[in-house]
Chains A and B, each alone.
Chain A
Amino acid sequence: MAVDAANTKFVPRGRIGKGRLRWGLFFLAPWFIGFLAFQLLPIVFTFFLSFTDYNATKEFAPENFNFVGLNNYSRLFSDPQLGESLGVTLRFTAIAVPLGLIVPLLFAVLVNSKHLFAPNIFRTLFFLPTVIPVVAGVLVFQGVLNPQSGWINLLLKVFGLEGPRWLSDPAWVLPALNLLGLWGIGNAMLIYLGALQSVPTEIYEASVLDGANAFQRFINITIPMISPVIFYNVTLGVITSFQYFVAALLIGGRNGDPQGATLFYNLHFYRQAFVFNDMGYASVLALFLFAIVMVLTTFMFTFLQRNIYYASTDI
């Protein structure tokens, strides 16, 4: 990592180094405190529970659970739904992440275009679905995707096509959930929009003089300049896809209907914890997900981040 060159230039390094460390810790303090108070506890608690047979219908008190050693962990190897639920999650993620990367970027480019008339209205309307509570959003999609009365299949009928049975056909329910996910891209769009607008205009002007066309400019200037937020969106896209749950629960119910096609990993966890009251094994599942996502995140931070352009190089 590069030496903090700027500081050495002006002041003797030792003193300011200590001072800056103190400042740095000062700025991180809110998180340190919050981490200890609200975030470490659930993690430790989950870890603790994973060695017990605690059942969620009793008060969490020493007389109400036993230690079972690694029993809960060994169950991972004999759980047929583990693989099934990981499969559902991976299939969903494989579509959701690229979709969540590209579509909001295109929307952001569109609403950032100087050629768009009344961009405020477009921005607001594209963002609008994001402010709809997820419960209501699912209700809307159940209506729109209904094969009998939903507008999407009625629209397809106009073109002489028979629309799929979206939410009751195991082959179509994941695409339907991906569609639902697309509806909430307002946040990602806004992040890209902010990034696009902070690309200094003079860089574009220079490249126009160099004869680059719009597409080349987009690839060679815009993408590198906004790569930090692309990295952000990809990383969080992966994490949130692995955690995907609420909409699936609302659409597929507690059983992952139709026929287990919406049995996401987190639904599997939820069923163990809250439907079957098996907190011990549920904690193992939570920790397993934790491990998977941590490996992925560390991987992304180690390898992907190398390709990110940061104007301030010190990371």
Chain B
Amino acid sequence: MKLKKQLFPILAIMGLLLLQVLYACGDPTATSVPTTAATTAAAATTTAAAATTTAAAATTAVATTAAATTTTAAAATTTVVATTTAAPAVPTVPTTVVVAGEGCASGSAKLTWYIGLGAGADADVIVKEKAWAANFNKTQTDACLSLQVVHNPESYDTLKAQIAAGNGPDIVGPVGKAGRASFQGAWADISPLATASGFDLSKYDPALIDFTKDEGVLVGIPFALFPSMLFYNKALFDEAKLPYPPHKVGEQYQGKDWTNETFTALAQKLTVDAKGNDATDPNFDAKNIKQFGFFEGPTDSRGIATNFGGGLPYDPANPKAAKIPDNWRQAFTWYYNSVWKTHISPNDDYQNSDLLKKGNTFDSGNVAMQDSHTWYKCCFDVKKLNWDIAVIPTVNGKTTAKLHGDTFAILKQSKNQAAAFKVLSKMVVDKDLYQIYGGMPAIPADRAEFFTTLNASIGANKVDWNVASEMLKYPDLPNHESWLPNIIKANDAFAKFRKLLDQTPNLNIDQEIDKLQSTLDALFKAAT
């Protein structure tokens, strides 16, 4: 019949798909939930109540299969054994469920650790974090951590949905001030928790405790410090037959003080076009640059500004009136010129080109110097590149190295804050976590060991970590992520401004800074 002929292809393909499904069903861990779900849904027992029961049933099914696959084969029924052995062709990967609850002590508090707002959601790091959590769960019986690693760009939205539904995680981090600001008011006050568990906060530098406060509320225990410095590519200096930049504050470079002017001139010599002309050459072709002298690492324009000295974009006596400090104006102007006039910094198009590996700038090998924090060791091939670190040049006679201090925080809505605090107090002094996130321990005594271990992971490179310790003495105060009135919108304006500088040639920079100031002014005035 004609009809049959027409239906055949559909049926054939459907059959094929179903076969695949059956094949997939052979693996018990992956598919037990959906099978039950599908059958119910297909049977169209449509009320939500019925579906909920299924969900419950499905969870039990998972629990049973998990138990069956782990160890106690004796307890498992013969049918389960049969299905497990019947599907040897399907490669099962039991280790993906590292910390889903099995292996935890029965009385332990179940805690969720949410990662993604800051560092920690990149492929290489996730592996280490998982291993750390698995090990943590094995070594103590008070708490049982399960990880939620969410890809950074979507992690904010996901956490907001979870908070709205009241099933947010317990511990969140690492997260910095800017990240925390997006969840204003969602963080638990750590001080009473510390008092209740007898944790001594006085062993930390009061300035550091202050740094970990958001709007006067202590939202974490100081964990690690991430000073910024210049990462430089030694091979590119060698090629230009130029000496390496200073490793100590006050050291000269080629007989000149290590000022921002000296630095700019050096960076110009390290900026090269396709014909091999450097940026000081009159024939230099800015449309065909092949190597850049400098890149200001990922930060918003406030980060660029505080390189020229910490500060606040308003009059401290009157936080409702925006005022961009003069040194910030200088910083914006210098940075804008570094992109479009001296050409030492890549513009947005260059940053995203293949030449600079679509934003993985320093790793491309085509950037001579990059201003970044210690955590940046996460993000380039620390073994392959021939690199070292140098101090930030002085501006108006002063050195400023902007500082990050990411830590872990506890959500207010966590139902188990006391247990979460206990875990937190162990995390912030954990040697492995310092390594994973590349942060200098907040407790000075732990730093020497931190650098020794770090050196083992960077191949043949001999990196002068004294530079990092030295830079820690020159933090940007007030910090470039510090509190502002209407902070989320103000941070948004600063982020936008950096893009404007990176993307737009021929700007009247003074006018643009004035515009930024009036935008901020409106935001500050609208602050409640």
Point out residues on A near B: beta carbons under 8 Å: 30, 33, 37, 55-61, 142-143, 146-150, 165, 167-169, 253-255, 257-259, 271, 274-277
Contacts and interface: CB of A to CB of B under 8 A. Distances in A.
B349 A147 contact: yes
Interface residues of B, number: 36
Interface of B: 44, 46, 48, 156-157, 160, 163-166, 168, 182-186, 347-350, 352-355, 358, 413, 488-489, 492, 495-496, 499-500, 502-504
Contact of A258 (B168, B185, B186, B504): B504
A146 B354 contact: yes
B358 A168 contact: no
B347 A168 contact: yes
A312 to B, nearest CB: 20
A255 B185 contact: no
A58 B499 contact: no
Interface centre among A37, A148, A257 (most CB of B within 10 A): A148
Given A33-B46, A255-B499, A277 B354 contact: no
A97 to B, nearest CB: 28
Tell me the interface secondary structure of chain A in the complex. Answer: loop
Nearest to B167: A59
A274 B157 contact: yes
B353 A148 contact: yes
Given A56-B163, A149-B353, A259 B500 contact: yes
A37 B168 CA distance: 24
Contacts of B168: 59
B2 to A, nearest CB: 15
A56 B160 contact: yes
Tell me the interface secondary structure of chain B in the complex. Answer: helix
A165 B353 CA distance: 12
Given A149-B354, A274-B156, A57 B185 contact: yes
Contacts of B183: 57
B451 to A, nearest CB: 36
A258 B160 CA distance: 27
B349 A165 contact: yes
A271 B156 CA distance: 12
28 contacts: A30-B44, A33-B46, A55-B185, A56-B164, A57-B183, A58-B185, A59-B413, A61-B166, A146-B349, A148-B349, A149-B355, A165-B349, A167-B352, A168-B347, A168-B348, A168-B504, A257-B496, A257-B499, A257-B500, A257-B503, A258-B500, A274-B156, A274-B157, A274-B160, A275-B182, A275-B488, A276-B489, A277-B182
Contacts of A169: 503
A275 B156 CA distance: 8
Contact of A255 (B157, B348, B350, B496): B496
B495 A277 contact: no
A148 B348 CA distance: 11
Contacts of A30: 44, 46
B364 to A, nearest CB: 11
A149 B350 CA distance: 9
Given A57-B184, A275-B492, 19 more contacts: A37-B48, A55-B185, A57-B182, A59-B166, A60-B165, A148-B354, A149-B355, A150-B353, A167-B352, A168-B347, A257-B496, A257-B500, A258-B499, A258-B500, A258-B504, A271-B492, A276-B489, A276-B492, A277-B184
Nearest to A61: B166
A277 B186 CA distance: 12
Contact of B492 (A56, A146, A254): A254
Contacts of A33: 46
Interface centre among B157, B347, B352, B358 (most CB of A within 10 A): B352
Given A58-B185, A257-B499, A276-B488, A146 B352 contact: yes
Contacts of A255: 492, 495-496, 499
B160 A143 contact: no
B238 to A, nearest CB: 26
A210 B294 CA distance: 73
Contacts of B355: 148-149
A121 to B, nearest CB: 19
